[in-house]
Amino acid sequence: MPSKLSGLLQLFRDILPTRNMEEMEQRLVRAQEREDLPALAKIYYDMGVHCMKNGDPNRAMLYLSRSDTIFSSRDDVYEQVKESLREDCSDRIGQLEDMPLLTNQIPEQIQTQAEYLLNDLQSRVWGLLTMARLVQVGRRLSSLPGCEILGQLGRATDLILQSFQGQISEADFQFLMDICDQLYELGDDECFSDLTKQAEVPGGAPIQAFDLNGLLVLTELNLYLDSHLRLLTEGPENSEAEIDLVSCALLPDYYLRTCKEDLSLLPQIQQEIKRIEDDFEFVRSKITWEDISRRVAQYKELDILTCR
C-alpha cells in the first residue's frame, strides 16, 4: 500500500506544475477583470515561486518583479498584501539577481564597458541610441488608454540629439521636463499593469505595457532624461551619465511571457545584443554628429519586435 500511495503522489507531483500554472493564469485574468491589485500581486508571486521551484529562474524573475511592482505601487495595496509575502518576494528577487542570468549579465557588462572604456558623452550617446530603438515600441503602446505619452519618445530622442549639438528652445526644454515627469507618473497608473489591454504586433504576440520589463524601462527613460536635463542646466560635473538605459531594448519580459524558447536563443534577443555591441564600437570610433544622427534616424524606424 505505501508503494502504491508513493506512486500516486509522484504522479500527482508530475502533473501538478502544468495544472497549477494554467490555474494561476486563469486566476490572473479574473483578478485583472476585477481590478483587484492585491490579488494580482499574490498571483504573480505564486507564479514566480512556481517557476523558481521548477527550474525557470528567468520567468521567476519576471513574475516576482511584477508582484513587487504592483504591491509597491500604492500604500493601500501594500498594506493589503501580507508582510511575509512581501519579504519573501524581495528575498527571492535578491537570490535571482545573484544568478548568472542573461538579464543580469548584459547590464553588468554594459556598466563595466562604460566605466572603463567610455567617456561621459560616449555613454550618453550609447543610451540615446537605445532610446531611438524604443520609439516604435512606444508608438505601438501609445494606443493603449493612459499610455499616450509613450508615443512622444521620437520627439524626445530628436530633442536630446539636437541639444547635444546646440541650444534648444525653452518650449522644447519644457517638453523634455514634462515627458520626464509623465514617464515617472505612468508607472503608478493602474493602466500600466492592466494585462487586459494589449497592442497588436504583426506576426507576433500582442504586447502589454507591463512588458516594458515591469517599471525598468520607464524608470531608466526617466533617469536618462533627468540626467540629460541636469546636464543642460548644471553641466557634466553635476550630472552623471545614466548607462542602464542601454540594455532596455532587450525587452526580456515580453519574450519570457510570450515565448517558450530559451531567452538567449531567441533571434530578437541575439539581434539586440549585437546592436548593443555594435553601438558600443560605434560610439568609441571617430564619428561625427552626422553619423550619429543617421544611426538615430535608422533606429527610430526600426521595429525591434518584428525583426527576425
As a whole-number percent, the residues of the chain with pLDDT over 90 amount to 79
pLDDT above 60 (res 35): yes
Nearest-angstrom CA–CA distance, 233 and 214: 30
Classify strands 204-207 and 199-201 as parallel, antiparallel or unpaired.
Answer: antiparallel
263 in Cβ contact with 105 (< 8 Å): no
Residue type, 54: N
- Classify 307 as helix, strand or coil: coil
- Classify 167 as helix, strand or coil: coil
| Cell numbers found for residue 83 | 508582510
pLDDT above 70 (res 13): no
Question: For residue range 50-100, what is the model confidence (pLDDT) as tens digits?
Answer: 999 999 999 999 999 999 999 998 899 999 999 999 999 999 999 999 999
Residue 196 DSSP label: T
pLDDT above 90 (res 12): no
